[in-house]
Structure 1
């Protein structure tokens, strides 16, 4: 039997390995009692200096947005803390945290990132699990690898013009124009922002980070409820001195009560029923729409100082919006499509922080702090301008596809374009109808299929339209079309994914397993890309 001197990990092919093994076997023949390693070193070859094999790519079985957090945590059981933290993330790699799922979890594990509430798609479920993991691990990283730098993950990096997530640009609002017509149950805005001479640039598929401010009325109610003085000076988390009112308005999240706030109130009340309610919230999470003011009102006359109140609040994180414009078309502007969030709960009007700022509180000419969040995973127009595109974006999910179409028009791209759009009513909710009809007339938009769910006896959604035109959609895919999805992750994107696999299964004459693999390959090739939240 021939002795193998060359490790399997060494970067040689079979022929090279056989020759080298023969060479060293010959050396062994000259000195049969020699140690193989000593003989190799005598020949000037050290085992230690042989190039090592590339490390295998680590498997992250939990990195699947369709899996519930319970299953993901089960898969990560026994792994190092940074991997369990990763399993707690929403698995979308959406960039809303300023990282990707892996790099955000590694940054937390190493202590580089202290904000545990940046995973907005994961929401309370994720932040609660992160705190639990860190508590169980006593805050130790268990040997976590350093998080990738901002320049590596393409998320937090400082742009050439100096503006970034940590140094946003003070842009001016041009307009916030209503897109829905009278009678609609929705209020969706086309928001245009002036980038001035900032030099801020973006690509189609990128998102715009917006630092919102809280509603003044809510801030005033909170200060009154804790018996505070809005004019008293406090120090913000980043060390800036400002008034209590300004700090609560600019720096803190008033939507999701932290566990620390619940615990503070719980430790100071006597009523057993209220205690039981708060304990249940700590265990199960607060009800949907239950905010910081609700907690304070439960506390009633319990004394809470402004300083200790601020210490329990989470930071006010920026909101990310898909950019709805191509810079080749709008120049030094950036456009967004924003759905205003407003509803009533427990006799009090609740408002989305950023959406109401952009739709009602901010006037034309006033400033807002913004930064560009680069797209991830290939969510942009194909490099080859002849490649067909299929775009699926109901509601505000149409935003990036307005940018895609503007880009294709500006570059005179020859590739076919197919858009699926849906909303409630055609008469009031056909966002950008004029622009889309114009694109159909010019031939830029090859196909436009709509699904207005409230216009018929049965609700029809974009995934239903996909199935109706499944044969044609399959032909486009076989021609190499790229398919893009933007919008709600929990329902729409999952339904669209299911419909896509059914179409591949049916019209591609594949079994379910082969259809799954076909779609998986599309994802790996960045031909099936999603921007979901």
Structure 2
């Protein structure tokens, strides 16, 4: 009764099927007409004929936001909101693009900043759409800031733990995967879930509730000339000191329009006012954070309470899980790239990545929850089905889990991994484990691309084209195709390379190849976990 395309995992689907079967008394092999009649009788009427599926023309991640909004012109508010999303159905918001937008439109979700791939442009467009809707008399109860009320637990396995009520887990280890000499710091993070009851499938993500660097929060308090110990009320309704709230509850990365407007009113420097007004008109420069805005607006007189009312909530970070519970038990493993860079003479740090890499030690705690994958990004249900996996950099994480799962379940299907990074000598993540899988036959093929090891940069999509004939043979034999990693460049390049392989080896036109790849996706054989 519950279709494969429904946003449930196998366990949830099985439970729902059993529930409806028990409700209606339908046998597993019942005729569909009998199912329809029985459901109608038990649910208080006849089952209406299914409406035609709505065509979301804007649901294409390759389209710029202006084009997506044009395609949604004249549509209801919830559809315009959907068009403003990044169109990745990545689950980082705890929803899909459609369900997140619908929850906002209904007023059930008040946090407008959950679409992390869409970033500032999505957040600004959502606010614009809601403002237009309110002015037209279609208020929906959503506010620019606030707690995530609608993103309730969708785990179905330990429902008491969610992004609104995360489990406090212990960090077991955070060890470097790169060799000394690398320009990167990538960590293998191990977290203990003992006692939580949390379960996950390969392909799921772990939500990590981050905390801001105390040094940044302290500098912000100084810039505000505020008392760090003054009591404030957070979006969740709890009271704590201003400094603690800035560390735990608020995003200090992207300054909101409301903050900039507040500061414009509190300074007299005409040049600074002009700079801030320009940010309202054309947007805040990339990498510009809340502290940067205060440094522009030096001397502004504001209270801590006024400031936090303009800040966006600090959202959880989702990491693709790099382990199978069949292998690691009540642990969860992650592959985390530490983000650190310098801008305007100040060191900038990724909130969650530096927390996991340097600010908490083994034995200390981190708050987590499991975010199930809604889009079928997991190992094939048929153990004989071949898998093609493309995961450069930290995009390798779910495929480490996939290989563990296939090994533990003794799945006979072939497995092919494309992995890439900068230098083979320094950045070959999980090399020993992958080579063991090769030696045991679990990993049928491993093709690598290290972009900085020669004058000509080589990437995973180049390796795909080099092996086009065999890649086409795998696809023709029913292989599933998976991609994990950066959505803005890598995933698009891989998708383009896949279409080129199909066109050249399948003897198709560009249009026919695009249709073939689209059919791979619609039939559940092409899955992307991109961000």
Structures share a fold, TM > 0.5? yes
Q: Distance in 1 between matches of 2:520 and 2:111?
A: 35
Q: Are 2:352 and 1:328 equivalent residues in the alignment?
A: no
Q: 1:67 aligns with which of 63, 66, 72?
A: 63
Secondary structure class of the residue paired with 1:283: helix
Gaps of at least 5 residues in structure 2 are 1-44, 141-147
Preserved contact between residue 109 and residue 141 of structure 1 (Cα < 8 Å): no
Q: 1:352 aligns with which of 338, 350, 368?
A: 350
Preserved contact between residue 449 and residue 459 of structure 2 (Cα < 8 Å): yes
Preserved contact between residue 99 and residue 155 of structure 1 (Cα < 8 Å): no
Alignment map for 1:281-296 (pairs within 5 Å): 281-296=279-294
Following superposition, the deviation at residue 51 of structure 1 comes to 6.9
In structure 2, what is the equivalent of residue 103 of structure 1?
A: 99
Following superposition, the deviation at residue 157 of structure 1 comes to 5.2
Q: Distance in 1 between matches of 2:496 and 2:47?
A: 45
Per mean C-alpha deviation after superposition, the further-off stretch among 297-306 and 156-165 is 156-165
Following superposition, the deviation at residue 55 of structure 1 comes to 1.3
Q: Deviations over 1:74-95 (max 9, x none)?
A: 0001111111010000000111
Q: Distance in 1 between matches of 2:210 and 2:361?
A: 14
In structure 1, what is the equivalent of residue 129 of structure 2?
A: 133
Q: Are 2:111 and 1:115 equivalent residues in the alignment?
A: yes
Q: 2:271 aligns with which of 273, 282, 302?
A: 273
Following superposition, the deviation at residue 141 of structure 1 comes to 8.4
Q: 1:57 aligns with which of 53, 57, 69?
A: 53
Q: Distance in 2 between matches of 1:260 and 1:397?
A: 35
In structure 2, what is the equivalent of residue 168 of structure 1?
A: 166
Q: Distance in 2 between matches of 1:153 and 1:311?
A: 21
In structure 1, what is the equivalent of residue 339 of structure 2?
A: 341
In structure 2, what is the equivalent of residue 204 of structure 1?
A: 202
Q: Distance in 1 between matches of 2:474 and 2:169?
A: 41
In structure 2, what is the equivalent of residue 373 of structure 1?
A: 371
Pairwise CA RMSD: 1.9
Gaps of at least 5 residues in structure 1 are 1-48, 145-149
Q: Deviations over 1:317-356 (max 9, x none)?
A: 0000000000000000000000000011111110000000
Q: Are 2:206 and 1:215 equivalent residues in the alignment?
A: no
Q: Deviations over 1:443-477 (max 9, x none)?
A: 11000000000001100000000000000000000
Preserved contact between residue 327 and residue 405 of structure 2 (Cα < 8 Å): yes
Preserved contact between residue 110 and residue 141 of structure 1 (Cα < 8 Å): no
TM-score (norm. length: structure 2): 0.88
Q: Distance in 2 between matches of 1:96 and 1:141?
A: 31
Following superposition, the deviation at residue 160 of structure 1 comes to 3.2
Preserved contact between residue 179 and residue 426 of structure 2 (Cα < 8 Å): yes
TM-score (norm. length: structure 1): 0.88
Number of aligned positions between the proteins: 480
Q: Are 2:232 and 1:234 equivalent residues in the alignment?
A: yes
Q: Distance in 2 between matches of 1:50 and 1:526?
A: 31
Secondary structure class of the residue paired with 1:489: coil
Q: Deviations over 1:246-273 (max 9, x none)?
A: 1110000000101100111112222222
Secondary structure class of the residue paired with 1:175: strand
Following superposition, the deviation at residue 281 of structure 1 comes to 1.0
Secondary structure class of the residue paired with 1:437: helix
In structure 2, relative to structure 1, the CA distance for the partners of 1:491 and 1:430 (3 Å cut) is same
In structure 2, what is the equivalent of residue 6 of structure 1?
A: none
Alignment map for 1:492-507 (pairs within 5 Å): 492-507=490-505
Per mean C-alpha deviation after superposition, the further-off stretch among 502-511 and 273-282 is 273-282
Secondary structure class of the residue paired with 2:395: helix
Q: Deviations over 1:229-249 (max 9, x none)?
A: 111211111111111111110
Q: Distance in 2 between matches of 1:480 and 1:209?
A: 33
Secondary structure class of the residue paired with 1:138: helix
In structure 2, relative to structure 1, the CA distance for the partners of 1:235 and 1:275 (3 Å cut) is same
Secondary structure class of the residue paired with 2:334: strand
In structure 2, relative to structure 1, the CA distance for the partners of 1:95 and 1:139 (3 Å cut) is farther
Following superposition, the deviation at residue 139 of structure 1 comes to 6.7
In structure 2, what is the equivalent of residue 509 of structure 1?
A: 507
Q: Distance in 2 between matches of 1:306 and 1:295?
A: 15
Secondary structure class of the residue paired with 2:348: strand
Q: 2:90 aligns with which of 80, 88, 94?
A: 94
